[in-house]
Amino acid sequence: MPIVRVALDIPLSTLFDYLVGAELSVEVGQRVVVPFGRKQVVGVVMELAESSELTPGRIKSVERVLDDVAPLPSELLKLLRFCSDYYHYALGMTVMSALPLRLRTQEPMVNRQESGYILTASGKRLDMAQFPKRRVVQQRILQALQQGMQSATQLRNLSSSAAANLKILQDAGWIEAQAMPETAALAHRFQETYRLTTEQQQAVDAVKQTSGYACFLLHGITGSGKTEVYVHLMNRVLQGEGQILLLVPEINLTPQLENYFRSRFPETELVSLHSGLSDGERVQKWLRAQSGHARIVLGTRLAVFTPLPKLGLLLVDEEHDASFKQQDGLKYSARDVAIFRASQRGVPIVLGSATPSLESYYNAQIGRYHLLKLAQRAAAQAELPQVHCINVSQIPLREGFSPAMLGALQARLDRKEQSLVFINRRGYAPVLMCTSCGWLSGCANCAGKLVLHMKDRRLRCHHCGHQERVPHACPSCGNVDLQAVGVGTQRIEEALQAHFPEARILRVDRDSTRNKGSWLVMRRQIEAGEIDILVGTQILAKGHDFPNLTLVGVLNPDGALYSMDFRASEKLFAQLAQVAGRAGRAEKPGEVLVQTAFPDHPLYRALRAHDFEAWAQILLSERQAAGFPPFVYQVLLSAEGKRENEVFSFLQQARSAAMELVSSVEVYSVLPSVLPKRANHFRAQLLVQADQRKALQEFLRQWKPSLEALPAQKLRWSLDIDPLEF
């Protein structure tokens, strides 16, 4: 009987051999149900074999072949093998983590054809001028359908209440559902509504003239029209019937990009893949991409593993963003995996950013990547905003605001322009303190503090999720005078409402956008001019285009200058440059006010001059002198457990094993993590680095078997290759 080697979701670095009965037909890449222990589990066939090292009596048989979905292509399996090898993660767990959740179960998969909607005869006769104005969502749906058939997904994207309103319109007899045609058979149509600037055209031409694989770094200032470069490159690939994969760092960026691309390619099927989808939605869109029908795939980091038989172009927007790095399980960088995938496929990849990561910028400097620059804003008369630093070291603040900041906000209100107040800390205040004994609201499970949330009078840990009621008195001394220390988005929102009672204020952070569809509603309010002042975290820092927003105020950015993280200043500059870029993106001039105690710091000088290159050269010089990436390559061994001594003992043994190996790597001492205790687990780490990537990988192949042999029954440990967080 033939033998198959199957990848299972098991933390062992091996494939498992199974016999295939004569009644079954199986291919590499197919999902199968096999016995494992006392259970039946789903796996993926990775190899066909003639023999096994196991004796015949020990080899079990495949129970079922799941042929409801086409086999995974060999190209994708090769990519997953690379990830398993490079990130030193079990192959089976790597393969299974790349699949939608529904495909990891034994439940039969039904490939449902998406429904669409059209206007009925009575719907076409409707007079929209007489339609009730309060039915805003229904108006949007009817207006969209006047352009022709729209898919259910497209219409649901119009509003969080679109599904309910579709039923109302259907019951009224104004619209009807129909099966969507196979859009892959439709002719490609490009809405060329925008004429490229000279810089944009040069960037497009540079990529078009490339044959085969090449990696381009598109370094364009905020508002320079990087998305328009993407669109024209996509048009070329679509003309050749290819597919495009566009990765974005955050789920909040997907709706507006999706709508924009649909408007430019109205007959092209587009799917978005992100964590906000239900399991059923995700797998159906994944299948459309796998079949080749979905020509544009827009997604967050996991979308990098989507099977795309006609892949012709990869795009990574905001390539510097840390969200592209997975921080648990398979700790991969979606940007780096995308580069390998482009090389494997022999197609170009474009990394876009106004503030590239130092690694990408350095690669462009040494010629490994091709550098493309957009130094001018794309919109006519739009200029980069003026950036001013307000020295707050010697002036009193009112609820976190300087007089100059309040005056600038009032001026925008008078001119009916929008403002954004940026503070990268959610909640009301970072900590609650007793004014008598100095007690602080610490988390019982973590080394961090409980953050005060005033709306529901709760103290919450943003690390482990623990929460408790705000105490009426100090738990230590009984004092009732408890004071909120520091400011968060909720406190800033409250202060602005007190300063500007007539202003329409909207807070945008992880708490306010938690519900599905909430950010979509907020964005429409902003675009409709229904909001005067935005208060937000990094959710608002990048990718958004609000033409009437002319002022950005930045509060409390100096904390990153004290951080132990050597990347902190790089992240801060990127964050501030990105959020500053939200101002003045149309004909109205923009202004950015940064409240800081260090206005003469080189970071703020570079920010005022919009000079990323100068700041990058300073950081690269510091990194080279200190021996930090991109001049070295790192791996971080992390461990956590209930007993602190066991965690440190494991890591000390791991360090001893590393020191015994003959290798050109540098092994550092065992140290507590930046957050040494989280969710009642003690955490520590061991850093290893090398001058050459190859040398580090060779060391890891020798070291990992020693790690797996160490006693660690009550511990969790993991390797993080190219770590971003410590």
Return the number of other C-beta atoms located less than 10 Å from residue 203's C-beta. Answer: 29
CATH superfamily of 386-429+486-619: P-loop containing nucleotide triphosphate hydrolases (3.40.50.300)
- CATH number given to 198-374: 3.40.50.300
**Type and span of the H or E element at 705:** helix 693-709
Predicted pLDDT at 409:
96
The mean pLDDT value of the chain amounts to: 91
Hey, what's the torsion of the CAs at 300, 302, 305, 311, to 10 degrees?
0
Query: Which is it for the CA torsion 305, 306, 307, 309, positive or negative?
Result: negative
Residue 534 has pLDDT above 50, yes or no: yes
Predicted pLDDT at 75:
95
SS3 458: strand
Residue 358 has pLDDT above 90, yes or no: yes
So where are the chain's domains? 3-104, 115-179, 198-374, 386-429+486-619, 633-721
Of 324, 355, 321, which Cα lies nearest the Cα of 338?
324
Identify whether the C-beta of residue 686 lies closer than 8 Å to the C-beta of residue 659. Answer: no
Q: Which residue has the tokens 């066909």?
A: 48
- pTM of the complete model: 0.88
Residue 181 has pLDDT above 70, yes or no: no
CA distance 375 to 89: 41
pLDDT in tens, 623-644: 999 999 999 999 999 999 999 9
Q: Which residues, in sequence order, are bridge partners of residue 13?
A: none
Predicted pLDDT at 185:
44
Across the range 151-170, mean pLDDT stands at 79
- CATH number given to 3-104: 3.40.1440.60
Q: Given this chain, do its domains 198-374 and 386-429+486-619 carry the same CATH topology?
A: yes
pLDDT band at 111 (very low <50, low <70, confident <90, very high): low
- CATH number given to 633-721: 3.30.70.600
Alpha helices in 476-629 (DSSP H): 489-499, 518-527, 568-580, 602-608, 612-626
**Type and span of the H or E element at 654:** helix 644-660
pLDDT in tens, 591-619: 999 999 999 999 999 999 999 999 999 99
Return the number of other C-beta atoms located less than 10 Å from residue 553's C-beta. Answer: 28
Whether residue 385 is preceded by a cis peptide bond, meaning omega within 30 degrees of 0, is no
Local structure of residue 305 (DSSP, 8 states): G
Residue 160 has pLDDT above 70, yes or no: no
DSSP letters for 102-163: GGGSSSPP--PPPEEEEE-HHHHT--GGGS-TT-HHHHHHHHHHTTS-EEHHHHHTT-TTHH
Predicted pLDDT at 546:
84
Ranges 59-63, 80-84, 162-166, 641-645: which has the least confidence: 162-166
Q: Quick one: tokens of 213?
A: 């694989």
Hey, what's the torsion of the CAs at 281, 284, 290, 291, to 10 degrees?
-150
Q: Which residue has the tokens 């001594």?
A: 645
DSSP letters for 349-374: EEEEESS--HHHHHHHHTTSSEEEEE
Residue 677 has pLDDT above 50, yes or no: yes
Counting every residue written for the chain, the total comes to 726
CA distance 402 to 316: 38
